[in-house]
Amino acid sequence: MNIEAIKSIYAFEMARTRRTLMQSVVSPVVSTSLYFIVFGAAIGSRVQEIDGVPYGAFIAPGLIMLTLLNQCIGNGSFGIYFPKFTGTIYEILSAPISTVEIVIGYVGAAATKGLIIGTIILATASLFVDITIAHPVMMVLFFVLTAVSFSLFGFMIGIWAKDFEQLNIIPMLVVPPLVFLGGSFYSIDMLPPFWQAVSHFNPVLYLVSGFRWSFFEIADVNPWISLAIVVAFLAACLSVTAWIFRTGYKLKN
């Protein structure tokens, strides 16, 4: 294992965050604060509690997950797409670095950024509502697995995208609706039976539900099923990434 190569890629990607501090850190914090202010005032005044949890606290895990997914996908995709765009990807591919080391460097940096921002959002949420974590180990497990999985997913998007428009299609047009319709701001028990059944086909539901269970011990789906879904998604992303490097898809041709 070439540790120096991993450290070089990781350090370069983390340095980009320091150069774009306003966009990387300040913007998500401001957005989350606005969510709490707007939803807390508009909906919280009408929906006092859900399953015994104050509404403001109930939506906190969903907001953290929304930010985490966006940050991990965005950082993971841009990190590998930019070398493709500038042509420096060929220097990386021709260097004495294995594909595993390349993935660890880029995905590790994207996941780290997501975890840092997610932690800041958690701290920000605690300023607005009273948050308790019933199962801290499970919370960290969901937190880390989700960050790594979606950073890897973003990495795949960055390799697939041929221009900036494609790079933003999934993060901007697919992920936010899935998060909003995945029980981030409500319990699916509040929906009619038909839409409850449809919601179970939304993979984000399992992420939000499992993450919320680690806080308040309430969930729309069994938390162990949610954990299994996250692990299965990570395994699928690893398999696709291995195929990409084995075939050279969008990299060598």
Query: Per residue in 58-78, pLDDT tens?
Result: 888 988 898 899 889 988 998
pTM for this prediction: 0.89
DSSP state of 129: S
Range of the domain at 172: 3-247
pLDDT of amino acid 44:
58
pLDDT of amino acid 21:
66
In a domain, 215, yes or no: yes
pLDDT of amino acid 252:
67
pLDDT of amino acid 41:
64
In a domain, 183, yes or no: yes
pLDDT < 50 positions in the chain:
none
In a domain, 252, yes or no: no
In a domain, 99, yes or no: yes
Residue entry with tokens 């954990």 = 227
In a domain, 102, yes or no: yes
pLDDT of amino acid 227:
94
Total domains in the chain come to 1
In a domain, 131, yes or no: yes
Query: Per residue in 118-163, pLDDT tens?
Result: 998 888 888 888 888 999 999 999 999 999 999 999 999 999 988 8
Rounded to whole angstroms, how far apart are CA atoms 129 and 121? 12
> In sequence order, which ranges of the chain are alpha helices (DSSP H)?
3-19, 21, 27-42, 55-86, 89-94, 99-128, 136-160, 164-169, 175-180, 193-199, 203-216, 223-247
In a domain, 253, yes or no: no
Is residue 159 within 8 A of residue 249, CB to CB? The reply is: yes
